[in-house]
Structure 1
Amino acid sequence: MALTIMRRIKFCAGHRLFGHGGKCEHFHGHNYVADFFVQGETQDDVGRILDFSVLKQRVKGWIDEHWDHSFLIHQDDANARQALELVKPCRFFVMPYNPTAENMAKYLLEEMCPEVLEGTGARACQVRIWETDESYAEASLDPTGGEAVTYSAMAVGE
């Protein structure tokens, strides 16, 4: 039986969607909320699969170092990179694809979580990125234990 815990992390970041063609192609930012769902098969002597404080330290530590108060840009967006390099000081994080909410969830689940959770005995099974109070995207591992990832997006209310 797998047990699941969730930790919510809030952060602020800017981005633009390379090649979007609409208003999201402009630099803009969001107050993001990231929900990290972590599973484990075993519990420690206290009854935890992973202490919430350890989960917070590891995932928030990575986000604080790389994404909080940074601009997220597509690796092919040379114009955005050139513009950001003119601003001192400026933090930016280059992603292998457009920094949509879907791709942010995917990156955190596939790249960041395995790195920061290594050695804990727990693994992230789902990451949800809230871009606004009404809209989120999530990436989830295949519940059968495979490495396939599914993606979804949802807008709540209007």
Structure 2
Amino acid sequence: MSAVRKLQFCAGHRLYQHESKCRHLHGHNYKVFLHAQSTSNLDQIGRVIDFSILKGRFLPWIEENWDHGFIVWQGDLEAIAALRAIPDQKLFLLDSNPTAENLALYLLNQVAPKLLAETDVSISKIVLWETENCFVEVTTA
């Protein structure tokens, strides 16, 4: 059984060495669906987790790190230099090319375990919509 919370954010990126237009700086209105599962049973009132807990833990992280900023691969030195030339530009350096797949994997494997460390809940799947027509799903092994 899963409890699913949807969150939204806006962010820019570019796909380093992409063969088409995604190699340019551009942005998306992302939607992320967090699929939470209890590592034990439902809580005393019959929930996997209160939806507000998922929002309260994940939305501040997203707003601080990704929302209205640029997500760039740490090896993309040209994009980093260009974005750092803009005063107060929010920039998040990712250890991989910021594809939808890699953003979802980062949330699943890096962010979620830290944000839910003190609970008996884990994120089993991330669904990340990059556009109205394109999304990725990543799940735990």
TM bracket (short chain): over 0.9
Aligned length: 140
Aligned-partner Cα distance in 1 for 2:89–2:129? 24
Gaps of 5+ in 2: none
Query: Who is 1:155 aligned against?
Result: none
Aligned-partner Cα distance in 2 for 1:96–1:60? 21
| Superimposed CA distance per residue, residues 65-110 of structure 1 (whole angstroms, 9 cap, x where no aligned partner) | 1010110000110111100110012001000000000111110000
Which stretches of structure 1, 4 residues or longer, exceed 4 Å deviation after superposition?
A: none
Superposed displacement of residue 46, structure 1: 1.4
- Read off the aligned partner of 2:14 and give its amino acid letter: R
- Read off the aligned partner of 2:28 and give its amino acid letter: H
Gaps of 5+ in 1: 143-158
1:81-92 matches, cutoff 5 A: 81-92=80-91
Structure number with greater CO (CA < 8 Å, separation at least 6) is 2
Query: Who is 1:4 aligned against?
Result: 2
Query: Who is 2:134 aligned against?
Result: 135
Superposed displacement of residue 24, structure 1: 0.4
Aligned-partner Cα distance in 1 for 2:86–2:115? 30
Aligned-partner Cα distance in 2 for 1:51–1:27? 37
Aligned-partner Cα distance in 2 for 1:138–1:113? 15
Query: Who is 1:114 aligned against?
Result: 113
- Read off the aligned partner of 2:9 and give its amino acid letter: F
Q: What TM-score, normalized by structure 2, do the two folds share? A: 0.96
- Read off the aligned partner of 1:44 and give its amino acid letter: D
Correspondence 1:65 to 2:64: yes
Query: Who is 2:76 aligned against?
Result: 77
Superposed displacement of residue 122, structure 1: 0.1
- Read off the aligned partner of 1:105 and give its amino acid letter: A
Q: Which residue, 30, 33, 40 being the options, matches 2:31? A: 33
Aligned-partner Cα distance in 2 for 1:23–1:135? 16
Correspondence 1:43 to 2:42: yes
- The root-mean-square deviation of aligned C-alpha atoms, in Å, is 0.8
